[in-house]
Amino acid sequence: MKPLLLIDVDGPLNPYAALSRRRPPEGYTRHRMRPTGWTTGPALPVLLNPRHGEELLALAARYELVWATTWKDEANEWVGPRLGLPALPYVDWPAMHGSAPAGTYWKTQYVVEYAAGRPFAWIDDEITELDRAWITAGQGADGSSLLLRIDPWVGLQRADFDALAAWADGRGSG
């Protein structure tokens, strides 16, 4: 069975911190979106790079791709099609932005719960050493995980895709 690749949108795919720049980073296009809850004011600006869709599709030979974003299923409506991705399963967070064990990021406990003992890689801009330590201490069942913190100023880079491929290959997946 392939490991999971749990994908956050804001930060890894949408380098939202770069929105303050006059021009989007190279390869990115600015989109205006209105996901649920974004009903007043200007549409939400989102930066996306279509190459990321190609890279994620290539990783689908090694991983089962899953949205791990507050966009939840709306990533399939607003983000996935702009990247050329098919509809993906998603983590349906039981609670968002609440308390978390041992100072971890609020998503961490739910990512581990969703993985249910399966090996997983997780890309997110909020991952910290506390999350890694909590998972390594046995909260991630078999302990087979890769957590990549992605800089929200730059989004996913070639080195991140290479690290994901190498980790999956090193596990003997595919």
pTM for the model: 0.91
Query: Counting Cβ atoms within 10 Å, is residue 76 exposed (0-12), middle (13-18) or buried (19+)?
Result: middle
Over residues 65-87, the pLDDT tens digits come to: 999 999 999 999 999 999 999 99
Residue 68, C-beta contacts closer than 8 angstroms, at least 6 positions apart: 6, 7, 8, 90, 91, 107, 111, 114, 122, 124
Domains of the chain as residue ranges with CATH: 4-15+49-170 (3.40.50.1000)
Strand partners, 48: 29
CA distance 140 to 138: 5
**Residue where the block lists tokens 């099609």:** 81
The pLDDT tens digits for 108-128 are 999 999 999 899 999 999 999
Mean pLDDT, consecutive 10-residue segments, the chain of 174 residues? 96 95 88 84 92 98 96 96 98 79 84 92 95 80 82 96 95 48
Residues 53, 85: contact at Cβ < 8 Å?
yes
DSSP three-state, residue 164: helix
123 vs 36: CA distance, rounded Å: 23
